[in-house]
Amino acid sequence: MTVTVIGAAGKTGRHLVARLAKDGGRVIAVGRSADRLARFADPRAERRVATFEDGALMRAALADAEIVVNAAEARFVDALLVALPASCRRIIQMGTMRRFLPDRDEPGHFAARAEETLARCGVPALVIHPGLIYGHDDDQNVERVLALMQRWPAGLPLVLPLPDGGRHLVQPIFIDDVVEALAAAVARPEAPGLPIVAPGPALSYAEMMRLCAASLDRRLHVLSAPANILSATAHVAQRVGLPFPFGASALARAGEDKCQGGEMLAHRLGVVPRPFAEGLRLKLARRT
């Protein structure tokens, strides 16, 4: 089967292309930039440049696709269906667990709409909704926190204010586990159907930050602060170029519990995500 990965130079797509190429099948890596594909896409994959904004170019890139994995944003699902060839037997779409937030943000809305669109498209399809993905070198979540903690003077306790003292829950998932879920969806013809949530084991924001600090031999004190004040501070810091461990939107989300069951991930795709502490150790080992 020919597997075409859209967003192949992205943070998740590049890892998936390497994983699929390692298995020995034919993999086509589609990305917006030839330079980024040359830099990030596995050399064992065939590379094609295309964008959803150029329908003809995307149709050419997908001309011989049998399985399509869209690791790009879910907002492009309509353009994907327009460009899809008759040879396509299965679609796998990356979503986000933000789809389940009480007050969905834009990515959450696009993920929910992708579910509805793919359910009636006539091609067997699966949407996978991962939690907060970490583990790649340039992730904007854990990597940013670790980088700021590393710059903090050793021996000086680090004080970190979090909404409600960081008591709310988060389910970070290691990049390898996301890739395994996508690879399983490619390999299993029975995978399409109801969307699958892909959360890591739950822990509090405070515990996640403490584990990050401990991994760098830093002492951390978590303080409780109102989410709106922290979000406003982050917004100002971003505007003036000051380092801040979280963006304003991330701080707003830190004031909510975001827990979903991962039973279907294990049952249908055979993937059980590793605990955050284990994934963090692997991430740090790969940095050296």
**Domain assignments of the chain as residue spans, ordered by start:** 2-130, 132-173+200-258+274-288
Cβ(180)–Cβ(128) below 8 Å = no
- Across the chain, what does the average pLDDT equal? 90
**53 — phi, psi (to 5°)?**
-70, -25
pLDDT of residue 130: 96
As beta bridge partners, residue 162 has 224
What's the CA gap between 166 and 205, in Å, rounded? 5
Q: How confident is the model at residue 177 (pLDDT cuts 50, 70, 90)?
A: very high
To the nearest 10°, the Cα dihedral for 250, 252, 256, 262? Answer: -20
DSSP state of 245: S
Which range has the worst mean pLDDT, 98-107, 132-141, 225-234, 266-275? 225-234
Render 139-185 in DSSP notation, one character per residue: -SSHHHHHHHHHHSPTTSPEEEEEEGGG-SEE--EEHHHHHHHHHHH
Cβ(66)–Cβ(28) below 8 Å = no
pLDDT in tens, 59-101: 999 999 999 999 999 999 999 999 999 999 999 999 999 999 8
pLDDT of residue 241: 63
As beta bridge partners, residue 198 has 130
As beta bridge partners, residue 220 has 158
Cβ(244)–Cβ(237) below 8 Å = yes
What's the CA gap between 197 and 195, in Å, rounded? 7
First to last CA, the chain: 36
Which residue would you say has higher pLDDT here, 226 or 221?
Answer: 221
Cβ(13)–Cβ(45) below 8 Å = no
pLDDT of residue 235: 66
DSSP state of 269: H
**280 — phi, psi (to 5°)?**
-65, -40
CATH number of 2-130: 3.40.50.720
What tokens appear for 270 in the block? 């055979």
pLDDT of residue 4: 98
- Reduce the DSSP state of residue 106 to 3 states and report it: helix
DSSP H or E stretch at residue 203: strand 203-204
Which range has the worst mean pLDDT, 28-37, 77-86, 88-97, 243-252? 243-252
What tokens appear for 14 in the block? 């590049």
Q: Are strands 203-204 and 169-170 parallel, antiparallel or unpaired?
A: antiparallel
pLDDT of residue 154: 78
Model-level pTM? 0.89
